[in-house]
Chains A and B, each alone.
Chain A
Amino acid sequence: MINVIEARGITSRLGGQLIHRDLDLEVQHGELLALVGGSGSGKTALLRHLVGLTRPDAGTVRLFDVELARTRRLERLALLRRFGMLFQNGALFSALNAFDNIALPLRELRRLPEELIRDLVMLKLSLVELEPEHAGRMPAELSGGMVKRVALARALALDPELLILDEPTAGLDPDRSRAFVRLIRGLWHELNLTVLMVTHDVETLVDLATHVAVLAEKRVIAHATLPEVVALDHPFARSFFGDQRELIHSRAGRNQT
């Protein structure tokens, strides 16, 4: 099976500082991969390279075996429709209400009748466990957790094969965070998704990820299952997982089943 994401030899600078050096990353179909790394290690920058928002100084990114940087307009559009992205703060269009935010990518196809779009939006809303009465609210009137859910519904609007999440649980309280993680895991399972996410939260990662990629020393130093990464003898892994190792060992067995 081909890799959903394949980044090779990524080198990039931000403000004159080298943040990635000859970095390789592959995401296989069906993986639920968490990208972890210290703060300032270039996780979000890497994510932006992967989805083509920025271009690395060197190296290539292939999505679904197509090199994004070399696509023509229509091909690029078709490619962009195959994945959904959840931005850290939701990035909902503040001038549109929740319904129109989710409907936007569907309407942009210009081939679906409005009543079908309405049903699809209601379906996506129920997927992310929101009530129909939230549909008419403006983003400013939604709570932080609801903004994330609406943003997730928008990312799922086109039934993507790949979901990219930037800090999905940042800014949520532990309770909501756990619920959101459960939601993502459920969707991953149900919708047969491939998920790539950046996270800081060890608990999120333990509950969610099937695989973990560690970004340190300007490259991906490990890409393996969680127990293997936890066992890694590297200063970052030791400090990142630190006192959570017990938790991980107790839960890891469950996740493998």
Chain B
Amino acid sequence: MTRPSAQLAAAGPTQTLRLSGTWTLHALAGRVNELTRLLSDYGADRELAWDLTGIDLLDSTGALLIWRAWGRERPPQVALRPEHDAALLRLARVPRAPAPGRMGDFLEPVAFLGRQEAKLLDNAVGFIALIGYMVFDLFYLVAHPAAIPWREVSASVYKAGARALPVTALVGFLIGIVVSYLSALTLRTYGAGLYIIDLLGISIIRELGPLLAAILLAGRSGSAMTAQIGVMRVTEEIDAMVAMGLSPTLRLVLPKVLGMAIATPLVSVWVVAAALFGGWVAAYVLLGISFPYFFQTLPSVVHPDNFWIATVKSVAFGVGIALAACHFGLRVRPNTESVSAGITASVVTSITLMILLDAVFAVAFRDVGFFTP
């Protein structure tokens, strides 16, 4: 491989530009700008004769450099090796076309806002449509109980619920310790240490347990559901299902929604148990409250309605997570970028949705679950 070079030589009345060396991508890569400048000085001169016979290797990059210098037109006097002719002829056949590029627009921010709004509306409509399909499916299943996808529901309970038990227990236990520890420090200064049981009971059973369980499941199981459906979309598996007459909402969405509706309250109970245990550990260390005393006092200070509120909330959370996950999964377009965007949207939406639902429940059940003094 020799260095690509260009030399001017006078032969007779006309001047000749001799190019020599290896004109390939790898030889040229570092010197493109330098050679472009050098050649463009000569390119305009139509009288100049070009001698390319000194070039030993010419690939498309090399040919392109020369072609551009010529102004995309072969000058009248060119001498070249026959095997290099093809590369230049090929360039002459390339149609001139404007490059695909994006134009700047000063209205872009407004358009952006509009697009976001349209997207929001589109999502809302899609979400409602998904719920509609689900309702139709439920009617269908009432009429044809044999078509209920039990296996899928069971698999979804196992995947979203049973396999989430270790991580949810750990998180619940640690949150229990933290809440209990910080509360115990404050309560102790007022000599109200025993109220730690009321405090933990109400806050964990009614609020923290269901919310923690739901957030963990949204991150863990909701994202997995979106990914699964999204990839099925990319690989056209969903289209294959539709073509076979299988309803994707019946086979994919409904089992996930039912599975999450069953699994979330159960995981919530599990998180509550772990958090209460963690709370007791901290209460024992700081306040010396014994295990039997803690758990025997609990039922008398926490109204059982709190448990039912938590259960209803958890079911709603589970359904919300699964619906959001499936909605964004089904909206994935056939490319990989879209899958990751869908998963992000799914997790963010389901967590936001849960906080919203939680606020609604807090207002709706503000009078329920407290012992009237």
Write the residues of chain A forming the contact surface with B, with a CB cutoff of 8 angstroms.
Answer: 81, 93-95, 97, 99, 109, 111-113, 116, 118-120, 122-127, 131-133, 135-136, 138-140, 158-159, 190-192
Query: Is B100 touching A122 in the complex (CB atoms < 8 A)?
Result: no
Knowing A97-B100, A138-B335 touch, does A111 contact B32 (C-beta < 8 A)?
yes
Query: Is A190 touching B32 in the complex (CB atoms < 8 A)?
Result: no
Which of chain B's residues have a CB closer than 8 A to the CB of A135? 97, 100
In the complex, which residues 296-353 of chain B have their Cβ closer than 8 Å to any Cβ of chain A? 333-338
Return B87 CB to nearest CB of chain A, in Å.
8
- Chain A CB within 8 A of B7 CB: no
Hey, what's the 0/1 contact readout for B23-38 against A, CB within 8 Å counting as 1?
0111001101100100
Knowing A159-B61, A190-B90 touch, does A139 contact B335 (C-beta < 8 A)?
yes
Which of chain A's residues have a CB closer than 8 A to the CB of B333? 140
Query: Is A116 touching B64 in the complex (CB atoms < 8 A)?
Result: yes
Knowing A97-B100, A136-B100, A190-B86 touch, does A123 contact B334 (C-beta < 8 A)?
no
Q: Please measure, in the bound complex, the distance between the C-alpha atom of A122 and the C-alpha atom of B94, giving whole angstroms.
A: 7
Q: Please measure, in the bound complex, the distance between the C-alpha atom of A122 and the C-alpha atom of B338, giving whole angstroms.
A: 27
Q: Name the CB-closest residue of B to A138.
A: B335
- Chain A CB within 8 A of B191 CB: no
Q: Please measure, in the bound complex, the distance between the C-alpha atom of A132 and the C-alpha atom of B100, giving whole angstroms.
A: 9
- Chain A CB within 8 A of B91 CB: yes
- Chain A CB within 8 A of B104 CB: no
Query: Is A123 touching B99 in the complex (CB atoms < 8 A)?
Result: no
Knowing A111-B29, A190-B90 touch, does A123 contact B337 (C-beta < 8 A)?
no
Hey, what's the 0/1 contact readout for B45-69 against A, CB within 8 Å counting as 1?
0000000000000011100110010
- Chain A CB within 8 A of B234 CB: yes
Which of chain A's residues have a CB closer than 8 A to the CB of B25? 109, 158-159
Q: Name the CB-closest residue of B to A122.
A: B94
Return B330 CB to nearest CB of chain A, in Å.
16
Q: Please measure, in the bound complex, the distance between the C-alpha atom of A119 and the C-alpha atom of B94, giving whole angstroms.
A: 9
| Closest 5 pairs between A and B when the two form their complex, measured CB to CB | A132-B97, A94-B335, A95-B337, A159-B59, A140-B334
Q: Please measure, in the bound complex, the distance between the C-alpha atom of A144 and the C-alpha atom of B64, giving whole angstroms.
A: 29
Query: Is A94 touching B337 in the complex (CB atoms < 8 A)?
Result: yes
Return A76 CB to nearest CB of chain B, in Å.
15
Q: Please measure, in the bound complex, the distance between the C-alpha atom of A174 and the C-alpha atom of B36, giving whole angstroms.
A: 44
Q: Which of A81, A112, A120 has the most CB of B within 10 A?
A: A112
Return A71 CB to nearest CB of chain B, in Å.
16
Interface residues on B, range: 20 to 34
Q: Please measure, in the bound complex, the distance between the C-alpha atom of A135 and the C-alpha atom of B36, giving whole angstroms.
A: 25
Q: Name the CB-closest residue of A to B31.
A: A111
Q: Name the CB-closest residue of B to A133.
A: B97
Return B253 CB to nearest CB of chain A, in Å.
23
Query: Is A94 touching B29 in the complex (CB atoms < 8 A)?
Result: no
Return A110 CB to nearest CB of chain B, in Å.
9
Q: Name the CB-closest residue of B to A78.
A: B26
Which of chain A's residues have a CB closer than 8 A to the CB of B336? 93-95
Which of chain A's residues have a CB closer than 8 A to the CB of B335? 94-95, 138-140
Chosen A-B contacts, 11 in total, with CB atoms closer than 8 Å, are A94-B336, A95-B336, A111-B30, A113-B33, A116-B61, A122-B94, A123-B91, A127-B60, A133-B97, A159-B24, A190-B87
Query: Is B64 touching A120 in the complex (CB atoms < 8 A)?
Result: yes
Which of chain B's residues have a CB closer than 8 A to the CB of A97? 100
Which of chain B's residues have a CB closer than 8 A to the CB of A93? 336
- Chain A CB within 8 A of B292 CB: no
Query: Is A127 touching B32 in the complex (CB atoms < 8 A)?
Result: no
Which of chain B's residues have a CB closer than 8 A to the CB of A116? 32, 36, 61, 64-65, 68
Query: Is A99 touching B100 in the complex (CB atoms < 8 A)?
Result: yes
Q: Please measure, in the bound complex, the distance between the C-alpha atom of A123 and the C-alpha atom of B83, giving whole angstroms.
A: 18
Which of chain A's residues have a CB closer than 8 A to the CB of B99? 118
Q: Name the CB-closest residue of B to A119.
A: B64
Which of chain A's residues have a CB closer than 8 A to the CB of B338? 95
Which of chain A's residues have a CB closer than 8 A to the CB of B87? 190
Q: Name the CB-closest residue of A to B93.
A: A126
Which of chain B's residues have a CB closer than 8 A to the CB of A191? 59
- Chain A CB within 8 A of B95 CB: yes
Return A127 CB to nearest CB of chain B, in Å.
7
Which of chain A's residues have a CB closer than 8 A to the CB of B59? 159, 191
Q: Name the CB-closest residue of B to A112.
A: B32
Return B17 CB to nearest CB of chain A, in Å.
20
Which of chain B's residues have a CB closer than 8 A to the CB of A140? 333-335
Which of chain A's residues have a CB closer than 8 A to the CB of B334? 94, 140
Q: Name the CB-closest residue of B to A132.
A: B97
Return A88 CB to nearest CB of chain B, in Å.
15
In the complex, which residues 73-100 of chain B have their Cβ closer than 8 Å to any Cβ of chain A? 83, 86-87, 90-91, 93-95, 97, 99-100
Which of chain B's residues have a CB closer than 8 A to the CB of A109? 25, 29
Cβ-defined partner of B94 (8 Å) among A95, A112, A126: A126
Which of chain A's residues have a CB closer than 8 A to the CB of B234? 94
Which of chain A's residues have a CB closer than 8 A to the CB of B64? 116, 119-120, 123
Which of chain B's residues have a CB closer than 8 A to the CB of A94? 234, 334-337
Q: Which of A81, A93, A119, A191 has the most CB of B within 10 A?
A: A119
- A-B contacts besides A119-B64, A158-B25, 19 pairs, CB < 8 Å: A95-B335, A95-B336, A109-B25, A111-B32, A112-B32, A112-B61, A116-B32, A116-B64, A118-B99, A120-B64, A123-B90, A123-B94, A126-B93, A127-B90, A133-B97, A135-B100, A140-B334, A159-B61, A191-B59
